[in-house]
A and B are shown apart, each in its own frame.
Chain A
């Protein structure tokens, strides 16, 4: 079956770095997405990886290893506004997104 695993909740300190891991199993693979979702709002796109390696975009970076079925989202210089849920989603061979349950990130001052 298809499955996405990511931690339910993480806590980090303002100004620090946090890494949110995601493992996936899908029927075929057409890329791995990370979305940020603030409470009560729709998800917003953060990153897309389809090749192995690290993609850096400002304070956020995303890494993919296709052979391991593994990705992580790295957030640097954490700010209070980064408190949100972070959703990992893998696109399968039918170009549909398989969603993880999300990781709630709590930032403490």
Chain B
């Protein structure tokens, strides 16, 4: 099956610093990647949809200047949390969709746990 990796798996940073999370599709090309955030005991919340070679589409309420997304290639998307604050501490998960819009299955990365002190 398709494999999606995320790096780092865990990160602890000081308030005010920026953190970059990488999402890679290892054995397939992903034209579309999704970034989710999960709060404790809550469902996944879609933050943004990332399309290779174009600007990401952010969900309502997600600050695009705070959560910078870059999808520079068909196998890599990055999420940068800028000027992180303790309330940004969460589990961030990416997923990649195989093929075009008519291809329905998404493959999830293992997630990145961010803790902001």
Contact = CB atoms under 8 A, between A and B. Distances in A.
Partners in one complex: yes
- Contact residue range for chain A? 20 to 34
Interface in A45-99: 45, 48, 50, 87, 91, 95-97, 99
Nearest to A4: B43
B109 A96 contact: no
Per DSSP, chain A at the interface is: loop
B104 A31 contact: yes
Interface in B41-69: 42-46, 49
Interface string A15-58: 00000000000000011000100001111110010100000000
Nearest to A101: B43
Contacts of B91: 40
Contacts of B108: 35, 42-45
Contacts, number: 42
Contacts of A44: 108
A50 B105 CA distance: 12
A50 B62 CA distance: 30
B110 A41 contact: yes
Most chain A C-beta atoms within 10 Å of own C-beta, residue among B42, B43, B106: B43
A30 to B, nearest CB: 6
Given A96-B49, A100-B43, A101-B43, A42 B104 contact: no
Interface of B: 42-46, 49, 91, 93, 97, 101-102, 104-111, 113
23 contacts: A30-B104, A31-B104, A35-B108, A40-B91, A41-B110, A41-B111, A42-B108, A42-B109, A42-B111, A43-B44, A45-B106, A48-B104, A50-B104, A87-B43, A87-B44, A91-B104, A95-B97, A96-B49, A97-B46, A97-B106, A99-B44, A99-B46, A101-B42
